A = this chain, B = another copy of it.
Amino acid sequence: MRYALGLIPLSVALAYFHAPPLWVFAAAAAAIIPLAQWIRRATEQIANRAGSSIGGLLNVTLGNAAELIVALFVLMTGNTTVVKATITGSIIGNSLLGLGLSIIAGTWKRDRQTFSPQRAGLLASLLILSTIALMLPAMFDYTERAIVSGGTAAILDERLSLGVSIVLILVYAANLFYTLVTHRDVFATDESEETATWSLAKSFGVLAAAVAAVAIEAELVSGALEVTATQIGVSVFFLGIIVLPLVGNAAEYFAAVYFARKNRMDLVMTICLGSSIQIALVTAPVLVLGSYALGRPMNLVFSNPLELMAIVGSAFAVNSIALDGETTWFEGVMLIAVYVLLAMAFLFATPR
Interface residues of A (CB under 8 A from B): 111, 117-118, 121-122, 124-126, 128-129, 132-133, 135-136, 139-140, 142-144, 147-148, 152, 156, 159-160, 163-164, 167, 170-171, 174-175, 178, 182-183, 304-306, 309, 313, 316-317, 319-321, 323-324, 328-331, 333-334, 337-338, 340-342, 344-345, 348-350, 352
16 residue pairs of the A-B complex, CB under 8 angstroms, read A111-B183, A117-B324, A121-B324, A124-B320, A129-B334, A132-B338, A133-B341, A140-B306, A140-B348, A143-B306, A144-B349, A144-B350, A147-B350, A164-B341, A183-B328, A183-B330
Q: Complex Cα distance A340/B135, Å?
A: 14
- Tallying the copies of this chain within the complex gives 3
- Most chain B beta-carbon contacts within 10 A, residue among A118, A164, A313: A313
B167 x A337 contact (CB < 8 A): yes
CB contacts (< 8 Å) of A348 on chain B: these are 140, 156, 159-160, 163
Q: Complex Cα distance A352/B140, Å?
A: 13
Closest-by-CB residue of B relative to A179 is: B330
Q: Complex Cα distance A125/B135, Å?
A: 23
- Most chain B beta-carbon contacts within 10 A, residue among A121, A159, A341, A352: A341
CB contacts (< 8 Å) of A309 on chain B: these are 132, 135-136, 139
A128 x B320 contact (CB < 8 A): yes
Q: Complex Cα distance A128/B171, Å?
A: 25
Q: Complex Cα distance A344/B300, Å?
A: 14
A305 x B139 contact (CB < 8 A): yes
A350 x B129 contact (CB < 8 A): no
Q: Complex Cα distance A171/B125, Å?
A: 27
CB contacts (< 8 Å) of A164 on chain B: these are 341, 344
B340 x A167 contact (CB < 8 A): yes
Contact of A330 among B135, B140, B174 (CB under 8 A): B174
CB contacts (< 8 Å) of A152 on chain B: these are 350
A324 x B132 contact (CB < 8 A): no
Minimum CB–CB distance from A331 to chain B (whole Å) comes to 7
